[in-house]
């Protein structure tokens, strides 16, 4: 009788351990995804600010009579930075998508 109780208790403990490890792994994955999306949102905010700055600079150049705004150093620099930020945002999204796919398997 005691052996049956001990066996059932051990089975229950094993199931609790499995559930705890499953929940811990799931929490780690969800936290990693949340961090990646948070970082992506920060990069997206930087992109928005940069686009706003480019727009202001283009308007300023237009008011000064400049016709070729793409030759302006500030605009060129901002456009190259914009490209880098967009790549960074895409990398964060790609990493999050990989974790999501792994989690679904």
pLDDT in tens, 28-49: 989 999 999 999 999 999 999 9
What are the domain boundaries of the chain?
32-104
Helices (H), the chain: 2-64, 73-104
Q: Can you give the pTM of this predicted structure?
A: 0.74
* Residue numbers in the chain where pLDDT is lower than 70: 105
Predicted pLDDT of residue 105: 66
Tokens linked to 48: 């928005």
Q: How many CB atoms lie within 10 A of CB 58?
A: 17
Distances (CA, A) of 16 to 7, 20, 68, 103: 14, 6, 68, 21
CB-based contact 72:57 (threshold 8 Å): yes
Question: Looking at residue 83, what is its pLDDT?
Answer: 96
């Amino acid at each position: 009788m005691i052996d049956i109780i001990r066996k059932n208790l051990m089975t229950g403990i094993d199931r609790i351990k499995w559930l705890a490890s499953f929940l811990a792994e799931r929490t780690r994955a969800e936290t990693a995804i949340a961090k990646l999306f948070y970082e992506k949102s920060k990069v997206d905010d930087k992109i928005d600010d940069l686009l706003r700055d480019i727009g202001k600079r283009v308007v300023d150049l237009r008011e000064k009579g400049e016709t070729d705004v793409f030759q302006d150093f500030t605009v060129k620099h901002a456009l190259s930075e914009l490209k880098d930020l967009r790549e960074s945002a895409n990398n964060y999204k790609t990493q999050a998508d990989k974790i999501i796919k792994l989690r679904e398997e």
